[in-house]
Amino acid sequence: MKRILILNYEFPPLGGGAGNATHYLLREFSGYHDLEIDLVTSSVDEFKIEKIYKNVTVHFLNIGKKNKRLHYQTLKDILVYSFKAYFYSKKLKKRKNFDFCHAFFGIPCGYIAMKLELPYIISLRGSDVPFYSKRFYFLDKILFKRLSFKLWKNAKKVIANSEDLMLLALEVNKNQKIVVIGNGVDTQEFKPLEKKLFTRPIKAISTGRLIERKGYEFLIEAISGLQEMELELIGDGRIKDKLKKIAKEKNVNIKFLGKKSHDQIASYLQRADIFVLPSLNEGMSNSILEAMSCGLPIIMTDTGGKELIKNNGFIVKKGSAEELKLALTRFVNEPRLILEMGKNSRELAEKISWKIASREYRKIYDLI
């Protein structure tokens, strides 16, 4: 029996891709009866312990969120989690006698794992890699780059979720050994409608936090002037009002649908025609995988996850409204591409599952 401590400050309904990835991986790990897993994560309201599977227990620590901005963790949220997770996990370690720790995010969770003096592996998710996000630029420069070097060097294994994220991480230490294990997708939860009617206007959709890094300003500008296209944005964030103002000025046919629970997303994707990810930086986007699984062609920027685009969409330059418009116009002028590339997306998604991802993680677990 292997006893594993998993640390992640995000877990549904808190957070985004990393939380959902942990959720799906735990579901797959529930089938491994020789694993006993404890996840220490954040709560939206109060401290609680839930046994979600026979061999998986989740410890929710109250970090004072009070159901506010669930999609986004502030620096204060992360610091409160770090403090509480360290002392809670230290007590838990005495009772559980863990074999090792799996830390999602090098900072803060990898640091907590190192301080617990457990063997540990780190799953890099994006924002924890120095210079991935402008939000942490100065901290990356004066502290996190050196700290990441140490954390990764001492880890039993460092895992990135995309080739691009691995390359960015190697800028911290070119000699660091990093393996890539991509995200998966639940092809039963996310699947195309059996009978879908194509109508005008063409509906483009994007899901994600409304923050600068997601590049939505460029997408809104790209859609301006395309009378045969409408846009739906699912998500919330600090630049929502700014985006609404830009959309009004550009006279764009757009619907801001707000944040939706993860189990609502599939129905919106199924009714759309094209998925667009205009991000300035990404690790491996769960959103792209879910859109592919729903049979949507993809337009994405040249960032993490672009290896998923194989005759099922277009890759455009980051921060270029012009290239986004050209790709969108292709679908307006050649609607057959929506069906052809959408079919290719679904076929590719069927080869990418959380079961496969969990097997890759299990191989690493067995080496520790």
- For the segment 75-93, the average pLDDT, to the nearest whole number, is 95
pLDDT digits (tens, 9 = 90+) for 295-322: 999 999 998 888 899 999 999 999 999 9
Look at the chain and report how many structural domains it folds into: 2
Looking at the structure, do residues 135 and 6 belong to the same domain, yes or no? yes
Beta-bridge partner residues of 202? 229
* Position 42 in a domain: yes
Looking at the structure, do residues 230 and 125 belong to the same domain, yes or no? no
pLDDT at residue 70 is higher than 70: no
Closest to 298 in 3D by CA, of 266, 275, 280, 332: 275
Looking at the structure, do residues 118 and 217 belong to the same domain, yes or no? no
Looking at the structure, do residues 23 and 118 belong to the same domain, yes or no? yes
Rounded distance between C-alpha atoms, residue 209 and residue 266, angstroms: 17
Looking at the structure, do residues 332 and 357 belong to the same domain, yes or no? no
- For the segment 29-50, the average pLDDT, to the nearest whole number, is 95
Q: What is the DSSP letter of 106?
A: I
Rounded distance between C-alpha atoms, residue 84 and residue 42, angstroms: 10
* Position 196 in a domain: no
Boundaries of domain holding 90: 2-184+353-367
pLDDT at residue 265 is higher than 80: yes
Looking at the structure, do residues 298 and 359 belong to the same domain, yes or no? no
* Position 197 in a domain: no
Q: What residues contact 178, with CB distance under 8 A and at least 6 apart?
A: 124, 152, 158, 159, 160, 166, 169, 170
- For the segment 204-230, the average pLDDT, to the nearest whole number, is 93
Looking at the structure, do residues 207 and 339 belong to the same domain, yes or no? yes
The pLDDT-based confidence of 75 (bands split at 50, 70, 90) is confident
Rounded distance between C-alpha atoms, residue 243 and residue 351, angstroms: 36
According to the model, what pLDDT value does residue 138 have? Answer: 81
According to the model, what pLDDT value does residue 143 have? Answer: 85
Instruction: Tell me the percentage of the chain whose pLDDT exceeds 70.
Output: 98
Looking at the structure, do residues 240 and 152 belong to the same domain, yes or no? no
Looking at the structure, do residues 58 and 207 belong to the same domain, yes or no? no
pLDDT digits (tens, 9 = 90+) for 132-145: 877 777 888 888 89
Q: Strand 120-124 to strand 157-160: parallel, antiparallel, or no bridges (unpaired)?
A: parallel
pLDDT digits (tens, 9 = 90+) for 222-244: 999 998 999 999 999 889 999 99
- For the segment 342-350, the average pLDDT, to the nearest whole number, is 95
CATH number for 83 = 3.40.50.2000
Q: DSSP 3-state assignment of 271?
A: coil
The pLDDT-based confidence of 14 (bands split at 50, 70, 90) is confident
